[in-house]
Amino acid sequence: MDDLRMAVIGVGRLGEAHARVLSGMPGVRLSGVYDIREERAEEVARRYDTTALGSLSRVVEEADAATVVVPTTAHCEVASFTLAEGLHTFVEKPIAATVAEADRLIDLSESRGLVLQVGHIERFNGAFRALEGMDIAPGFIEAHRLASFDPRGTDVSVVHDLMIHDIDLILRLVRSDLESVDATGVAVISDQVDIANARMRFADGCVANVTASRISLKKMRKLRIFQRDHYVSMDFLAGESEIYRLIDDPGQAGARGLKIPVNTGDGRVRHITRQKTSKDRSEPLESELASFVAAVRGDAPTPVTGFDGREALRVSLAVIEQIETNSR
């Protein structure tokens, strides 16, 4: 099978990471990079032994698929061009600036039979992947995503910059309609909201409390799930999860790790088991882009579809709307 020709559009810090990963990926040839800053494109091209493409038209000539790593406001313009020209397209999160733009990209990909994948990278973090195969039915979710201030990314609010990661994960975990959103946020350093909290209530009764900040002294990326007989704590910085279960028999199948007896108050003694997942050493970005390549080749379904990206965007916009309403 011939190598898949791939190009990267936009080679800032994240775009360069795309180029780095794709340049070493089996079955892929990094056919070029494009950036509106020609010197930057040439610098990255030299570093990864590829070609600096001088225009989007050259991208279409040289590639079968492209990753779009440009500012959010340009996602629709660039991705609609690549899709219209027949390129399978990976677009970083958020999928677009508006739901209407997201719908346009989805329609283009479907009408042309092309893969459209959205870059919600935490789906590929070992902490989240540890939940595969578990029976997840959350009653309450709490997420904290805290980062120190970085001028990069302040063209959008912290909701689109950081919180959208956890919104996507929550929508993946809670298979129920979102009924209401309440949110508050403050612009502290930039002109956009820098710290925000949202409370989301779902039709099945689950409530998710989500906090995102880009003005914190310490980094934190944690999400905790509480449900009947289960508690799960995910640490996305460490790539690890801790899974606690309340079981009747400490010897039952699947009961691994620490076992603590507990009197539940109904005359029974049950046991809390604690399982810490082994650290996943794989790079989430590499796993993410490999999944896109597999989808393009028809070897696997698209793991994060355009519709997934649209829904994360829709809820993010609802959070922003509530912040604006509550700040009046």
Q: Crossing angle of helices 13-23/38-47, nearest 10°?
A: 30
What tokens appear for 298 in the block? 């028809």
Place of tokens 């649209």: 310
Q: What is the CATH number of domain 4-122+284-304?
A: 3.40.50.720
- pTM score above 0.75: yes
Q: Which fold has domain 124-280+315-326?
A: Dihydrodipicolinate Reductase; domain 2 (3.30.360)
Domain map (residue ranges) of the chain: 4-122+284-304, 124-280+315-326
Measured between alpha carbons, how far is 328 from 316 in angstroms, rounded to an integer? 19
Convert the pLDDT of each residue in 121-155 to its tens digit.
999 999 999 998 888 999 999 999 999 998 877 88
Convert the pLDDT of each residue in 212-246 to its tens digit.
999 999 999 999 999 999 999 999 999 999 999 88
| pLDDT mean over 184-195 | 96
Measured between alpha carbons, how far is 206 from 319 in angstroms, rounded to an integer? 17
**Strand duo 269-276 + 258-263: pairing:** antiparallel
Place of tokens 């309340």: 246
Strand partners, 307: none
Residue 102 has pLDDT above 60, yes or no: yes
Name 71's Cβ contacts closer than 8 Å, sequence gap at least 6.
10, 155
pLDDT averaged over the chain? 94
